[in-house]
Structure 1
C-alpha cells in the first residue's frame, strides 16, 4: 500500500518501510524476534543508533537522509532503493531523476543562474552578462561553432 503526500505522489508509508526493513534484516541473518538480539546487533554493525533502528522497525520514525544513506551502505543497497522504500521518493520521481525529460527550450541566463544558486546580485549580473556575450560570439561565428580567441 502507498499513501499520498501533499503533492499527490504515491509514497511508501512508515509501516511499509518497517516491513521492508524487517525483511532486509532477516534476509541478512538478523534475528528480530523478541530477545533475538538482531536489532542491537544491526545497530552495532551499521553504526545507526539502537533507538533509531527500533523506531524504524516499528514504523514510528521519519528518518533523516543521512540515516538512510548509512542504512543503504550497511545493507549494500543503492541509496535510491532505500529512499523509495522509506517513502522519500516514489518510483516515478526516481525515474525522472535517473532519466530527466529533455528540455524543449534552452535555459535563459537568469534560469541558469537560479539553477546554479547564484543569488548575489552582482554575481548574477556578471554571470548573465558573460553568458549573453558568449551567446553573441557564438552566433557571430556560426551557430554550431565555438568562438575562437
Structure 2
C-alpha cells in the first residue's frame, strides 16, 4: 500500500521515495501487481535484488546511493529530478549537483589526467581496466541470478 500525501508516513524519506518510484515505475510500464513480474523486471533493470526493490517500493528503506542512477535510468527519469521528488535532496542541492556534474571519465581520459603517456604502459593499464570492468559485470550478472561469481586466475 502506498502512502498518501496527507499522511505523516508519506513525509519520511523512504516512504516518499518509494511512492515516487512506484508511480514512475508504473508510468514506465512496470506492472507492480503481485505476481505480475514488474518488480523482478525492475530489479533486473536496476541491478538491485528483488527484496530490495520490494522494500524500496513499500517505503521501508532507501536504496544505496550507488543505485540511484540506475533507478533513474530504468524509469527514464532525470537523476536530480528523482532525488528531489523523492525527498532525498533539496532543489538547491540538485542545482549544485547539476552544475558540478561532468561526463564520466574514460580510461583514456584518466591516463591523460595522470600524465601516463608511454604507449606500453597505456596499453597495459587499458587492458587491466577492460578486464576489471568485464569481471565487475560478470559479478553483477551472477548476483542477479542469486549465485556468486567466480574469479578467474
Query: With structure 1 as the length reference, what TM-score do the two structures score?
Result: 0.52
Q: Which residue of 2 aligns with 1:51?
A: 51
Count of residue pairs brought into register by the alignment: 92
Residue ranges of structure 1 left out of the alignment (5+ in a row): 3-10, 101-149
1:49-96: CA deviations, max 9, x gaps?
A: 211111110101132211111111222322111221332211233235
Paired residues for 1:1-149 under 5 Å: 13-98=13-98
Greater strand content: 1
Structure 2 match to 1:107: none
Residue 98 of structure 1 and its aligned partner are, at CA, apart by 4.6
Distance 1:75 1:25, change over 3 A: same
Return structure 1 stretches of 4+ with deviation > 4 angstroms: 96-100
Report the Cα offset of residue 41 of structure 1.
Answer: 1.5
- Specify whether residues 35 and 98 from structure 1 end up closer, same or farther in structure 2 by C-alpha distance, changes over 3 A only: closer
Cα distance 1:81–1:12, how it changes in 2: closer, same or farther (>3 A)?
farther
User: With structure 2 as the length reference, what TM-score do the two structures score?
Assistant: 0.51
Greater helix fraction, Structure 1 or Structure 2: 2
